[in-house]
Amino acid sequence: MDTGLSFTATMRVTPEVTAEYIGSGDLAVLATPAMCALMENAAMMAVATHLEEGQTTVGTALNIEHLRATKVGKVVTATAVLTEINGRELKFNIAARDEVGVIGEGTHSRFIVYREKFMSKL
């Protein structure tokens, strides 16, 4: 696995991913937690095909700014780019955009784990 791997995840803002519905706010706009989930998904997918059999990644840190609201019906994309590999720790730059421009950006860390071993510890 090398730095530079990237993936772009896409979603349409529906009532079920609004701050009002999720409970993180009381407006019918894209919820910050929903934007974060899309960003994490992009990072997970950026490296998914480069892992060994039985491995996956889990999120360990997320440092983002939600810069602008997005209304229901709009399409949002999140792109993650792998910037650093420290053993099993992976670091990403992430940015989310809607049809107008950047709505959020930041960094994200994930850790490579073996699925079975990870789940057996819970």
Active site residues: 32, 40, 66
Nearest-angstrom CA–CA distance, 79 and 77: 7
47, 5 Cβ separation under 8 angstroms: yes
Residue 76 class from Cβ within 10 Å (0-12 exposed, 13-18 middle, 19+ buried)? Answer: buried
Nearest-angstrom CA–CA distance, 73 and 93: 26
